[in-house]
Amino acid sequence: MVKPSRSQTPSLADLRREIDRIDEAMHGLLMERGEIIDRLIAAKQTQETGSAFRPAREAEMMRRLVDRHKGILPLDTAEGIWRVIISTFTYVQAPFSVHADLSAGDAAMRDSARFHFGFTVPFMPHMGAASVVAAVSDSKGDLGLVPAFSVAGAGAWWSALEFDTAPKVIARLPFVERADHPAGVPVFVVSRAAADAMVKEVKMWSVRVAGWSKSATQAIGPLAEVIAVPDRAFDGAALLISVPQGGSIDRVTDTLVKAGASVRATALVGSHATRYRVSAEGARPLPTGR
């Protein structure tokens, strides 16, 4: 095909032929990707080992997407297309369902699930984070979506993640945050993933305390983010605390003690990648590393 020179104005027919060529090439690449996944299944025997979800690899691929993105196509669109491609091919490797807690808002959670995992992956609604965690615990490789913030009456659902054999928090979505994100509700992804597949930049801790107070919250503010506090935290329940990359749970607990709280136990309940936030200057990691 002879392309028009820069001095010539291309016709609409020329531009449409270019679009058709690109569409055909993209479809061909997707089919080629499917062939490679088919060989990957045979090589790894993925269908016998459970979930094929690999948070660390996904985070690295997402960072590359953000760093190279430019032009008029919104980043959200590129992210959404990429998410559907990755999730669908992951599902082909090892079928899984997405269990979602709708107690914080039905529409918002469904939008998050469909944006990040597409329509091929089965969607399983639940009312309460504890129900989601229980369903994931009973599954072979399913994912659970729970709100990444306190929900009244939810209880300390993360306590069920404290045991070695329990699923863990493996991701926080959306990875790229912006005020008008089409699936902007912050959620944790709970599942079982191989140790070498985890991304361990931000660590999630269940911290059992007594004597919880406003001053304790303020004291650890520079060190960690308190994600959720059960109604009876003052009497000795578990807190869900996010410690950013470079931070230390020991430093957090020492600070809590100095603020008058009594730390009874800590347990690692998961980890996730440092998120990106889109601003006028572009997408950058959150300054706190959270």
Instruction: Please write the tens of the pLDDT for every residue from 279-288.
Output: 655 555 554 4
In the sheet with 282-285, reading across from the earlier edge strand, the strands are: 176-177, 276-279, 282-285
Are 58 and 143 spatial neighbours (Cβ–Cβ below 8 Å)? no
Taking the C-alpha atoms of residue 194 and residue 145, their distance in angstroms, rounded to an integer, is: 19
pLDDT band at 154 (very low <50, low <70, confident <90, very high): confident
Q: What's the token pair of residue 34? A: 């499917």
Taking the C-alpha atoms of residue 264 and residue 32, their distance in angstroms, rounded to an integer, is: 54
Query: What is the C-alpha end-to-end distance of the chain, expressed in Å?
Result: 50
Which CATH number does 204-268 carry?
3.30.70
For 34-89, what is each residue's pLDDT tens digit? Answer: 888 888 877 776 554 445 678 888 888 888 888 888 899 988 889 899 999 999 98
Domain boundaries, the chain: 26-41+49-198, 204-268
Are 176 and 59 spatial neighbours (Cβ–Cβ below 8 Å)? no
Q: 277 has which bridge partners?
A: 177, 284
Q: How many CB atoms lie within 10 A of CB 208?
A: 18
Least confident interval from 13-22, 164-173, 254-263, 265-274? 254-263
CA distances to 55, 66, 266 from 177, in Å: 17, 12, 29
The reply to whether omega before 174 is within 30° of 0 (cis) is yes
Taking the C-alpha atoms of residue 222 and residue 220, their distance in angstroms, rounded to an integer, is: 6
Between 38 and 289, whose confidence is greater?
38
For 156-200, what is each residue's pLDDT tens digit? Answer: 899 999 998 899 999 999 988 877 888 889 999 999 888 888 888
The closest of 155, 218, 161 to 190, measured between CA atoms, is 161
Taking the C-alpha atoms of residue 8 and residue 24, their distance in angstroms, rounded to an integer, is: 25
| pLDDT at position 271 | 94
